[in-house]
Each structure stands twice: as structure tokens, then as C-alpha cells.
Structure 1
Amino acid sequence: MKNSFKISALVLAFAGLAFGAKAQTSTPTTTTTTSTTTNNGIRYSIGVDAGIPLGNFKDNYKWNLGGSVQADIPVISNQLFVTVNAGYNNIFGKKNIGGVQGADVTNFQLIPVKAGLKYFIIPNFYVQGEAGAAFLLNKKDVGVNKSTAFVYAPQVGVQFPISANGNFIDAGIRYEATTKYATGVDQSKVSFLGLRVAYGF
């Protein structure tokens, strides 16, 4: 219940930020940086996320899959955007650890909520940095003592138009990591190299 309240509060706060920015940018904007046109300056995208665990975390986990929604809110037209991102990420545990049948690692089920900046260095190519909170949905099953951790994610990517009305594809590669979910246990830090491929409008 406590986690649900935290998640709801964060989602509502970010939604309020997005809608507030939308209300202030009511004139159509043509985005020459990415050759797309948006109705109010804000770009929305829905994406698939996948990745490969790194560091100590890869000892027990093999890959992750999830999805996310993102809003890009313009600060400097066509070049600098504030990003708000929320999603779901399932990190799959390894099976038969040490060759023992049935010795399976429980999946990590996360809801990361992040905000940051997205900057287009040249047309269609950007760098992005985000930070926020990652909520662990199955703390008891995983056997840790924290359900929330700080998360950060630097990313590089490309964004290119696919239609005249402003739809686009956004593909980015990022490093994402959290602080510990179990006090004093480095293996409880989530870290992975991830790929996000999204459809934007």
C-alpha cells in the first residue's frame, strides 16, 4: 500500500508537469532538428526496453525486458527538452544456479520513474541523462529490505521522422543503474546496458 501511494504520487506529479508545460506551449512547433512537426511542442513516445545486466548483478540475472512511456517537453526549441519517463522492467533470474536443478533466481520486477534532459547535438542525434526512483514490486520474493532505490540513466540515441505529420522513431542505448536494495549487498544494485526503441507522436 505504501509503495502504491509513492508510485501514484510520482506519476501524478510528472503528469501535472507534462500537462502544465503543454498548456504553456499552445502554438504549433516545427522541429527542424529532427524534421518532425508536433502539435504543441511536446513529444510523446511509447517504447520497448531490453537489456543485459552488468557488474555483480550479472552473476544472478541474464537479461531484462519491459516497456516505457516518455514525454519530451521543449525548453529550447528543437534542441533541449525536459524528459519524463515511466515504465515497467522485468529482469530475468538465472535458472539452475551451480548446476542444481530448481535453484532458480527470482525475477526483479521494477517500476522506474525518471526525469531528465535530452539535448540534440546535431540533427537527429541526442544525448540524454535521467534520474529518479525505481520501485521494486516483489521485495519479499527477492529477499531484500528496501523497495525503493535511486536510479540514473545516461543515454545516447537517434530520432528520425517516419511521416509528415510528426510521427517518429526514437532509438537509444543507455547505461542504467540503481543504488542497493539490500543494505551492504553490492549484488542488490541493479545495473544493465539497455536499448529502447520507441514510436513517437
Structure 2
Amino acid sequence: MNKFRFLLLLLLISGSSLQLSAQWKGFSLGPYGEYAVPQGEFSENFNWGVGVGGNADIRLIKKLALTGSVGYMYFRGADRTDDAGNPYRVYDLKAVPIRAGLKYRLIPLLYVKLEAGSAKYSGNHYDGSAFILSPGVGLRVLGFDLQAKYEAWMKDGTKGFVGFKAGWNF
């Protein structure tokens, strides 16, 4: 019975999203998944990252749109050894990034974007928030959105990574 309720809820959301899309031609929203490859000093302590979230776009003028997203990112801590040769593992990093920015379509399928925001660290081992700056390039075909970006989280140094994002926009 729970599977039936879930399927029914999914169909209702999809139907209302399609109806919303038909009413608001300049507005879209949808889920995304992300894979991150740490760069520089960040890669010394973390191997990889994954994330999920939701994003929205609001067209301002013909080629320019306001974009925003909220998600959850997880970076796996690396296995290290201290000066005495004892192995240890760096604590995993978990964060909730909130971004807003502008997206400019170069041609109908290709765009560039610049986002900024905040990543709120969660968990027992990291605290506070980092400032986010994230330029990127993407390809949007029908509702499918593929994006490559560099994202920098700035707090007590820079945690930078190359991210690959895939999503669907209704």
C-alpha cells in the first residue's frame, strides 16, 4: 500500500509541475545529483563528494535567468598517517549549500552561470558556514540539465572542487 501512495504522490507532483510549467513558461524547478572531485589542499584530506538537491530557474529576460539551489553535500574523509606512522581517517564533511546566481544562455542549449551563497557545515566535527563562489557551464536539452563547475567554499582557507551536476527541470 505504501508503494501505491508513493506512486500516486509522484504522479500528482509530476502533473502539477507540468501544469505549472505550461502556465509559467519562464519558471522551472527540479531535482539534481552531483559528483565532486576535490582540488588542491582540499584533495589531501577528502577523496570525493556526492550531493543531491533541488534547483529553480526564473527567466528575467530572453537569455538571462535567475537561478537558485539548495542541497546536501557529503565529502568522504581520506585515510592518512601521522608523523609517527599511525593511520587515521579524516572526519567526513557534510554541508547544506544554498546558492543563488545568474545564468546566461550563449545559444539555446548552452549556458554559463555564476552562483554565490553559503554552505552550512553539519555534524559534530565541523561547524559554521563557508562562503560559496561557483562559476560553471552547462547544457540543457528539453528538461535534462548537465553542468560542469568549479566551486570554492571559503572559510579558514579555500575548499575547492570540480563538480559535475545532472538534473531534471519541470
Q: Which residue of 2 is the match for residue 198 of structure 1?
A: 167
Q: Which residue of 1 is the match for residue 112 of structure 2?
A: 127
1:160-191 per-position Cα deviation (integer Å, ceiling 9, x unaligned)? 01xxxxxx1000000000112x4xxx3xx321
1:128–1:100 CA distance, 2 compared to 1 (3 A): same
Verify: 1:90 aligned to 2:65, yes or no: no
Q: Distance in 1 between matches of 2:43 and 2:139?
A: 27
1:95-134 per-position Cα deviation (integer Å, ceiling 9, x unaligned)? 2446644x00101101110100011001100001000111
How many residue pairs were aligned?
149
Moved over 4 A (4+): none
The sequence identity of aligned pairs, in percent, is 30
Q: Which residue of 2 is the match for residue 172 of structure 1?
A: 147
Gaps of 5+ in 2: 1-18
TM-score, normalised with respect to structure 1:
0.69
Q: Distance in 1 between matches of 2:89 and 2:161?
A: 20
- The residue type paired with residue 174 of structure 1 is K
Compute the RMSD of aligned alpha carbons.
1.9
1:135-178 per-position Cα deviation (integer Å, ceiling 9, x unaligned)? 0012x414xxx5111101101010001xxxxxx10000000001
- The residue type paired with residue 152 of structure 2 is A
Q: Distance in 1 between matches of 2:99 and 2:137?
A: 16
SS in 1 for 2:89: coil
Q: What is the CA distance between 1:81 and its match in structure 2?
A: 0.5
1:179–1:42 CA distance, 2 compared to 1 (3 A): same
Higher strand share: 2
Q: Distance in 2 between matches of 1:190 and 1:88?
A: 16
- The residue type paired with residue 71 of structure 2 is G
Q: What is the CA distance between 1:193 and its match in structure 2?
A: 0.1
- Which residue of 132, 141, 144 corresponds with 2:125? 141
- Which residue of 93, 109, 112 corresponds with 2:97? 112
- The residue type paired with residue 90 of structure 1 is Y
1:24-47 per-position Cα deviation (integer Å, ceiling 9, x unaligned)? xxxx9xxxxxxxx74302011210
Q: Distance in 2 between matches of 1:104 and 1:115?
A: 33
Gaps of 5+ in 1: 1-27, 29-36, 162-167
Q: Which residue of 2 is the match for residue 9 of structure 1?
A: none
Q: Distance in 2 between matches of 1:154 and 1:45?
A: 20
Verify: 1:67 aligned to 2:42, yes or no: no
